[in-house]
Structure 1
Amino acid sequence: MSKGIIKKVAGPLVIAEGMRDANMFDVVRVSNQRLIGEIIEMHGDEASIQVYEETSGLGPGEPVESTEAPLSVELGPGLITSIYDGIQRPLDDIMKVCGTNLKRGVEVPSLKRNLKWNFVPTVKAGDHVENGDIIGTVQETIVVNHKIMVPYGMSGTVKEIKAGEFTVEDVVAVITTEQGDKELTMMQKWPVRRGRPYLKKLPPEMPLVTGQRVVDTFFPIAKGGVAAVPGPFGSGKTVIQHQLAKWAEADIVVYIGCGERGNEMTDVLNEFPELKDPKTGQSLMERTVLIANTSDMPVAAREASIYTGITIAEYFRDMGYSVALMADSTSRWAEALREMSGRLEEMPGEEGYPAYLGSRLAQFYERAGHVISLGKDKREGALSVIGAVSPPGGDISEPVSQATLRIVKVFWGLDSSLAYKRHFPAINWLTSYSLYLDNMEKWFNEKVAPDWMTGRQKMMSLLQDEAELEEIVKMVGMDALSAGDRLKMEAARSIREDFLHQNSFHEVDTYSSLKKQYLLMKLVVAYYEQGVDALEKGANIQDLVKLDVREKIGRFKYVLEENLDEEYKAVLEQLAKEISNITGKEDF
């Protein structure tokens, strides 16, 4: 074991000498208080260590000891419903040890060692197993069936398999390999900076349905896709992430509060246990892992929290689950990189960020994907990553936003002016985009409706036309517009206020199924197209603007799922009747 002594302390950076035998990214214990740290640079026998805890009071001459293992997470039953800090220390267990304030040097196992889980084997003695194969299951929560897999790099014949109640450290199986007998427990470790292997990556052809109309219809994200949500303070990044965590079609949610304000994390911790999961009726926490790394916690742990979260997410993806990971926010993570880079005296890049900012962001986002996992049964799993970016002053030309946009394929640009107008989700439809649309066109047209993409395109065109007409209206007023342009403006207003605006606190409108989105889209487009016909037949634009049916179209989003078809027919009939009334009046 490599042992050295502290030479210099600079905030969270400690330089130790006598560490020639240590390796990059080894976890070390610093001083007699045994603070946890990680080696991030080596010079001769000197190691630069980022310490994940407060370093005040440390001085030269104190001991440093390497554990000779990289920063790893414990993976096994007990992850779901847990609340961890950035380096997978369970906050509830730490509170039992040292109260509400974190003390330094606390050593608590990530997975509870005293809890017993009911292990149900799925293989028998004599079976051949390879890495990734499932040897048994544990019903971790009412919702999650935890699959115990053969660790990576191991294959052989099952010599012994047990059934019953065990802790994560108890041996549940013995496998005879070429290197001899290996004992398996329900827990495995994995280094956080290395992506977990899989058999094959699949193309992103299927959407991650979120129930948010502006996302699903206009800027959908693929299962296994990556999205960025940049926006200034107060524009609703956290609200959108909460909505996606609640409603997205994901089996497991991993929420990383990376450098977030403490009160925001408190809201998450209070809300999630109370939220009812719409799919199961249970608490949302029954399928959630939370990583709480608030802005007052040590900077170095903020840098690690992103990797801890995505490694846990990959583990559930390997079981064949669809996982949604929310990182809020990667800007604070980049600030931690910048601070550590500055203390290492590295040459700064743009705006003081390290030159490797782009490659680190890419390494994180590239771990998402829709994959076929290792193992004989070829399970399909997906890991979708949604990262919030908080650019200073809302300026997305800054390095973190720009580096993120070069990597991700979905950009939901939040607009504070929309948020101030109480338009939520405050996603700007003119600046946002999704590059998955072409891949997913076939899925939408086959699974929802053959004219889904056509309807979407019509609505987008109306919104773009409205933006151009707005300039004319600002200069010369609404009266200068032709009747056709006035109708375009009214149809675009319907799209904005009836379709894009969604009330997350309304029990029906908070989630909109694809069928409801399609029917509402059809109604809005029908109003415009029938209005154009009516104008050609000599109808008055004022009459078209004041149609009573527009109120019904606007309220369609509050219709219950079971009444959709009936209500849709009724609204369509009323629209046709009212349009024929005004065209008939003009003709008369």
Structure 2
Amino acid sequence: MSQATESDSVREDGVIESVSGPVVTAADLDARMNDVVYVGDEGLMGEVIEIEGNLTTIQVYEETSGVGPGEPVENTGEPLSVDLGPGMLDAIYDGVQRPLDELEEKMNSAFLDRGVDAPGIDMEKTWEFTPEVEEGDEVAAGDIVGTVPETESITHKVMVPPDYEGGEVTAIESGNFTVTETVVELDNGEEISMHQEWPVRRARPSEEKRTPREPLVSGQRILDGLFPIAKGGTAAIPGPFGSGKTVTQHQLAKWADADIVVYVGCGERGNEMTEVIEDFPELEDPMTGKPLMSRTCLIANTSNMPVAARESCVYTGITIAEYFRDMGYDVALMADSTSRWAEAMREISSRLEEMPGEEGYPAYLAARLSEFYERAGKFENINGTEGSVSAIGAVSPPGGDFSEPVTQNTLRIVKTFWALDADLAERRHFPAINWNESYSLYKDQLDPWYRENVREDFPEKRQWAVDVLDEEAELQEIVQLVGKDALPEDQQLTLEVARYLREAWLQQNAFHDVDTYCEPEKIYMMLDAIKTFNDEAFNALDAGVPVDEIQNIDAAPKLNRMGVQDDYEEYIAELEDELANELREKY
């Protein structure tokens, strides 16, 4: 059934009965769950979330002050959907995919009036369409029928919508078209344009979900070296205020080896989101040398925006990510932060007078988080291509308390946990990720990739580093009581090696031109240099050299300068020789 026919058959106006913040109750509205409606004289956009008898409850995506009982409610008969097609990259949207740049031009102001709307993609702009199939070819749902050069970095692939039957191509031609114009006609009467719509709360179909075997390389040593995430994996970054969640996500957005980045600013402070919106267009994509925005889609929904739109913004983001995944791209989705999303759910749930769960969050909090993260993964698409969506969600636990419900429920779902630590941040150790609390459950399935693409013994070296850092954590408890000098010399030396692991390897300067990104080969070589120091130092200790002499060799402090070396291979090779020679001369 076409959109127009379906809308006409369902549409029947109702009237507002009561208003409670973003929650509006309407009477006599013929509607179904999740239908989009327009509320009041100003036509504020909302969504049906509860139907009981003659009363329909609606969450409104805009400020409702001034709206009162008796005003009309108009039903569209369609669920909340996003516009998919060329023009989504290099765009900045709000939580329900309204293009903020376009609305600013329309309003001639940075402050938007209520009730203004615009399609998610420009329906008037023409795009150069190049066919990938010919007349007489058979196409099925999801198949790629042509391409469009969307940005300098990304080729947009025009696909048969997933809910089409498919058939034989009877007409197709190259040329410049708007997204609504037909570019392919099929023998069953179906017409394919560059524009698709898809309901945000429903996952796009795929053929098979596969086990991811390749890491999402981020260029951050503590992530790639100790706690890797797979392409198609899920990760959480919980941490208190000021510990570096947003900077970590910015680093991932800039450096992760994903084809497309979807950044969802969900309920974050306005100044942080302003920084993202101002910085991203100026950043150069280190992979291509082109602007980073040419492969990025931003969704900005700050904490002062209506609470209901915050609830929908993560669904908007994941649906856009799935669309690019269907083209065969690897997509990295950053959600900053899922705690604000959960708080929006809590506010709406309380206004609906639902039975609260732990700390007032709705009882379905865990289910909603699971639904979101479950849509990430490595997929074989219905058109035969392979694509992935990696979901990385920041969590902002109040007071840094990881035992609160959002963090705990997220931990049960995601397989990578990067725990940010306020104490590390205060000591100026960045990234402030606590290596004793963090973990990755992808290590085993990613080890073959590291063996093949980096070095054969990479997993063993990583495990050695983990063991040293674990031993340091135990020894620090003793040091607190009796002091470092009371320890046996071998344990004092272990603390020294752990210090170099922390300061030379795990610490990284996001604002240094060289140190901001560290490729896997460099990560391995830096770790190998510290392991060389460890082995030679313990040999010297066994030969009777005092621990003070070992710690004070001239070459050791050079370990701290490995990260900022452009020609790191030569520097590290010379440093390893220097360390070995200097220590061997001692005995």
CA deviation digits over 1:464-501, x for unaligned, max 9?
Answer: 11111111111111110111011100000000000000
Question: Pick from 19, 41, 47: which aligns with 1:38?
Answer: 47
User: Secondary structure of 2:549's match?
Assistant: helix
Counterpart check, 1:484 vs 2:493: no
Following TM superposition, by how much is the alpha carbon of 1:458 offset from its aligned partner in structure 2, in angstroms? 0.7
Report what 1:270 is aligned to: 278
User: Is the Cα contact below 8 Å between 2:132 and 2:145 reproduced in 1?
Assistant: yes
TM-score by length of 2: 0.97
Report what 2:186 is aligned to: 175
User: Is the Cα contact below 8 Å between 2:36 and 2:75 reproduced in 1?
Assistant: yes
Report what 1:362 is aligned to: 370
Q: Please list, as runs of the form range in 1=range in 2, the aligned pairs for 1:467-478 lying within 5 A after superposition.
A: 467-478=473-484
Report what 1:252 is aligned to: 260
User: Secondary structure of 2:501's match?
Assistant: helix
Q: Which amino acid aligns with 1:26?
A: D
Report what 1:586 is aligned to: none
* CA distance in structure 2 between the aligned counterparts of 1:283 and 1:153, rounded to whole angstroms: 34
User: Secondary structure of 2:267's match?
Assistant: strand
Counterpart check, 1:18 vs 2:28: yes
Counterpart check, 1:581 vs 2:585: yes
Following TM superposition, by how much is the alpha carbon of 1:32 offset from its aligned partner in structure 2, in angstroms? 1.8
* CA distance in structure 2 between the aligned counterparts of 1:553 and 1:100, rounded to whole angstroms: 50
Counterpart check, 1:228 vs 2:228: no
Following TM superposition, by how much is the alpha carbon of 1:505 offset from its aligned partner in structure 2, in angstroms? 0.6
Q: Which amino acid aligns with 1:117?
A: W
Question: Pick from 570, 574, 579: which aligns with 1:570?
Answer: 574
Following TM superposition, by how much is the alpha carbon of 1:443 offset from its aligned partner in structure 2, in angstroms? 1.5
Q: Which amino acid aligns with 1:174?
A: E
Following TM superposition, by how much is the alpha carbon of 1:447 offset from its aligned partner in structure 2, in angstroms? 1.7
* CA distance in structure 1 between the aligned counterparts of 2:491 and 2:421, rounded to whole angstroms: 26
Counterpart check, 1:291 vs 2:302: no
Report what 2:169 is aligned to: 158
Report what 1:145 is aligned to: 155
Report what 2:7 is aligned to: none
* CA distance in structure 2 between the aligned counterparts of 1:537 and 1:214, rounded to whole angstroms: 34
Following TM superposition, by how much is the alpha carbon of 1:244 offset from its aligned partner in structure 2, in angstroms? 0.3
* CA distance in structure 2 between the aligned counterparts of 1:100 and 1:493, rounded to whole angstroms: 50
Report what 1:202 is aligned to: 210
Report what 2:459 is aligned to: 453
* CA distance in structure 2 between the aligned counterparts of 1:543 and 1:132, rounded to whole angstroms: 67
Q: Which amino acid aligns with 1:238?
A: T
Question: Pick from 109, 112, 115: which aligns with 1:102?
Answer: 112
User: Is the Cα contact below 8 Å between 2:532 and 2:580 reproduced in 1?
Assistant: no
* CA distance in structure 2 between the aligned counterparts of 1:283 and 1:107, rounded to whole angstroms: 28
Q: Which amino acid aligns with 2:198?
A: W
Following TM superposition, by how much is the alpha carbon of 1:555 offset from its aligned partner in structure 2, in angstroms? 1.3
User: Secondary structure of 2:217's match?
Assistant: coil
Q: Please list, as runs of the form range in 1=range in 2, the aligned pairs for 1:327-476 lying within 5 A after superposition.
A: 327-375=335-383, 378-476=384-482
* CA distance in structure 1 between the aligned counterparts of 2:564 and 2:104, rounded to whole angstroms: 44
| CA RMSD in angstroms, aligned pairs only | 0.8
CA deviation digits over 1:108-140, x for unaligned, max 9?
Answer: 111112211101111111110001111000000
Report what 1:77 is aligned to: 86
Counterpart check, 1:549 vs 2:546: no
Following TM superposition, by how much is the alpha carbon of 1:569 offset from its aligned partner in structure 2, in angstroms? 2.2
Following TM superposition, by how much is the alpha carbon of 1:551 offset from its aligned partner in structure 2, in angstroms? 2.3
Following TM superposition, by how much is the alpha carbon of 1:567 offset from its aligned partner in structure 2, in angstroms? 2.3
Q: Which amino acid aligns with 1:452?
A: F
Counterpart check, 1:57 vs 2:61: no
Following TM superposition, by how much is the alpha carbon of 1:2 offset from its aligned partner in structure 2, in angstroms? 2.3
Following TM superposition, by how much is the alpha carbon of 1:153 offset from its aligned partner in structure 2, in angstroms? 2.6
Following TM superposition, by how much is the alpha carbon of 1:370 offset from its aligned partner in structure 2, in angstroms? 0.5
Report what 2:246 is aligned to: 238
* CA distance in structure 2 between the aligned counterparts of 1:272 and 1:548, rounded to whole angstroms: 42
Following TM superposition, by how much is the alpha carbon of 1:441 offset from its aligned partner in structure 2, in angstroms? 1.5
Question: Pick from 27, 34, 37: which aligns with 1:28?
Answer: 37
Q: Which amino acid aligns with 2:35?
A: D
User: Secondary structure of 1:527's match?
Assistant: helix
Task: Specify every segment of 5 or more residues in structure 2 that has no aligned partner in the other structure, as ranges.
Answer: 1-10
Paired residues, number: 575
Q: Which one is further off, 394-403 or 107-116?
A: 107-116
User: Secondary structure of 2:413's match?
Assistant: coil
Q: Which amino acid aligns with 1:133?
A: D
Q: Which runs of 4+ in 1 moved over 4 A?
A: none
* CA distance in structure 1 between the aligned counterparts of 2:445 and 2:462, rounded to whole angstroms: 15
* CA distance in structure 1 between the aligned counterparts of 2:276 and 2:50, rounded to whole angstroms: 36
Report what 1:186 is aligned to: 194
User: Secondary structure of 1:16's match?
Assistant: strand
User: Secondary structure of 2:69's match?
Assistant: coil
* CA distance in structure 2 between the aligned counterparts of 1:391 and 1:572, rounded to whole angstroms: 43
Following TM superposition, by how much is the alpha carbon of 1:445 offset from its aligned partner in structure 2, in angstroms? 1.5
Q: Please list, as runs of the form range in 1=range in 2, the aligned pairs for 1:316-335 lying within 5 A after superposition.
A: 316-335=324-343
* CA distance in structure 2 between the aligned counterparts of 1:182 and 1:235, rounded to whole angstroms: 53
Following TM superposition, by how much is the alpha carbon of 1:559 offset from its aligned partner in structure 2, in angstroms? 1.9
* CA distance in structure 1 between the aligned counterparts of 2:96 and 2:515, rounded to whole angstroms: 38
CA deviation digits over 1:248-280, x for unaligned, max 9?
Answer: 010100000000111000000111111111111
User: Secondary structure of 1:496's match?
Assistant: helix
User: Secondary structure of 1:582's match?
Assistant: coil
CA deviation digits over 1:361-396, x for unaligned, max 9?
Answer: 000000000111111xx1110100000000000001
* CA distance in structure 2 between the aligned counterparts of 1:450 and 1:183, rounded to whole angstroms: 53
Task: Specify every segment of 5 or more residues in structure 1 that has no aligned partner in the other structure, as ranges.
Answer: 584-588
* CA distance in structure 2 between the aligned counterparts of 1:174 and 1:248, rounded to whole angstroms: 39
Percentage identity across paired residues of the two chains: 56
